[in-house]
Amino acid sequence: MAVPDRSRKRPESATTHVATVGLRVTPRDAKTLHAAFHTGTRLYNAALEEALQRARTLRADPEFARLKALEPGPDRTAAFHWLDLQYGFTAAALQAYLNGVRHRYPGEALFAHEVQALADQAFGAVARWHFGRGGRPRFKSIRRGLHALTGKDKHSALQPVVDTAGHLVAIRWGRAHAFAVAWPKIGGSRRARAQQAERARVEALLAAGALRACRIVRTLVRGRWVYTAQLVLDGPPPLRHPVGMGRLSLDMGPSTVHWVGPSGPGHHDALAPGVVFGQQTLRRVSRHVDRCHRRESPACFDNRGRHRSRGCLWRNRSREAQRAQARLAEAHRVLAARRRTEQGTLQNRLLAVGTQVRCEAQRYTSWQRTYGRSVRDRAPGQFIAQLRRKAVSAGGGLYTFSPRTTALSQVCVCTRQVKKPLAQRWHSCPCGVEADRDLFSAFLGLYVQPKDGQDRLDFETAQRAYASRRQDLACKPGVEGAGWAPGKPRVRHRRPSGRRALVRIAKRLGRTARGVRADGAVRKRPRPVPPTDATRPAGGGLAK
């Protein structure tokens, strides 16, 4: 019998990608998965508590304080490593600890590889806090729990099941559980053909032995858990959209992005314009939850109606409050899904122009203090993070330059620098340069180069390039808002007109709008008045 190759060492530069398949979960399977995720949550919290305790004990040692005062070097690193081994603050030690805990856990037992992945996840969170790269990690609540259970490698208990014909039919978890895989759409539509081709590609990679790991992910949709399987496969991801080779420059805003490519007009695009349709629903449900909170737990608020800072005391929540919170969570999920889809469409459009992307280095978290709701709904920081990942995956990258040394919104190609207020959206210079402020900043970003350890604008190159592109940047803000600017698509989907809007339209057209007036009278569609003897034409014929 051949011994399977259980080697796990792979080069760090090896590329992988993730393929997602849906699962057809029965009520019995859902109960099994729910118990497993509950067990995983408890084990993760146990590993996190143990890692935090070991980190606190390590920090209290006088040797740790002495080593911190030393100069960085290989001797200091080796001393810290020896100290970590003494206190068991390593990923391997935490895996061994959690593996012993799982044998004593009374609930649904998890397998060794899934438990080791949970230990690695907890140790990574504590290590980031220990080395000052992140905040103190928090425990997973039992109500929300984990969102994924991952196998450590391709030899874990989570395995795809392939039939004799080579089709992916199920995901096996150990020997006792197997969860059926949802089939792709049947038919000749574009979506059906795309799903069938994707499933055939995944099955071919599985047959070639490209599987690296498997995980089960759950998402709360309309109050119910929906389960999917993710397969980590060797090789680069498939190219689904065209990729350009030029250079691209962005000027980010809280809700918009201005970008200029190597040629052609400048573009003004909104970040996730579809999220505005769900804001009214989100606000209405949020106010419902707030009313339930104030009615059921008045001790949480002070005399001025503000929530107390010592913590929330709202424990016993009514069914009305629970349903309202479920609707609020669903509204946030829908908004996030729409934002992710629309941002992905814009990112693919940008990368079709070029993969060498440039933009200013901004602190997007600081925008939350001024543009809180807009940043919450449109997430410019998430847009840049995803664009960086996609650009690197396509063979390019994202270069961020300092706005302090460049000041692109204040300078001109003639080297004149004038500070502009935020309300001034048009760049006008005595040298004759007239352009949209944001598009002009994005255009100048194409010619920022590192010089003497700092980012500097190459004025000579920018001045030569501006002569042939002055018309591409001279889009007045009023024209852009009307939807006629180059590259800005006109609004295709609009919300239906409300009752007040219909009344105004009817008044403008001289008609009578239907509905209930303020005095209680009912507006009805005017009916045609039958002709009388005075209005009927002579001879009884029809009036021409």
Binned at pLDDT 50, 70 and 90, residue 4 comes out as: low
Phi, psi for 254 (deg, rounded to 5): -60, -35
Could you tell me which residues come within 8 angstroms of residue 45 by beta carbon, excluding any fewer than 6 positions away?
Answer: 139, 140
423-480 pLDDT per residue, tens? 888 888 888 888 888 888 999 999 998 888 888 988 888 888 888 888 778 765 444 4
Q: Residues with Cβ < 8 Å from 91, sequence gap 6 or more?
A: 119, 120, 123, 124
Query: 532 pLDDT exceeds 70?
Result: no
pLDDT tens across 159-174, in order? 999 999 989 999 999 8
- Res 206: pLDDT: 93
| 206-243 tens-digit pLDDT | 999 999 999 999 998 888 899 999 999 998 888 888 88
pLDDT of residue 230: 96
- Which class for 159: exposed (0-12), middle (13-18), buried (19 or more C-beta within 10 A)? middle
How much is the pTM?
0.75
Dist CA 79 CA 71 (whole Å): 12
Is the Cα dihedral 42, 46, 47, 51 positive or negative? positive
d(CA 229, CA 163): 17
Task: Determine the pLDDT at residue 110.
Answer: 87
The HSE-up count of residue 453 (CA atoms within 13 Å, CB side) is 0
Q: How many CB atoms lie within 10 A of CB 164?
A: 5
Task: Tally Cβ neighbours within 10 Å of residue 434.
Answer: 13
Q: Alpha-carbon distance 425 to 268, whole Å? A: 13
pLDDT bracket for residue 275 (50, 70, 90): confident
> Rounded to whole angstroms, how far apart are CA atoms 355 and 243?
7
Q: Yes or no: say if 253 and 465 are a contact pair by the CB < 8 Å rule.
A: no
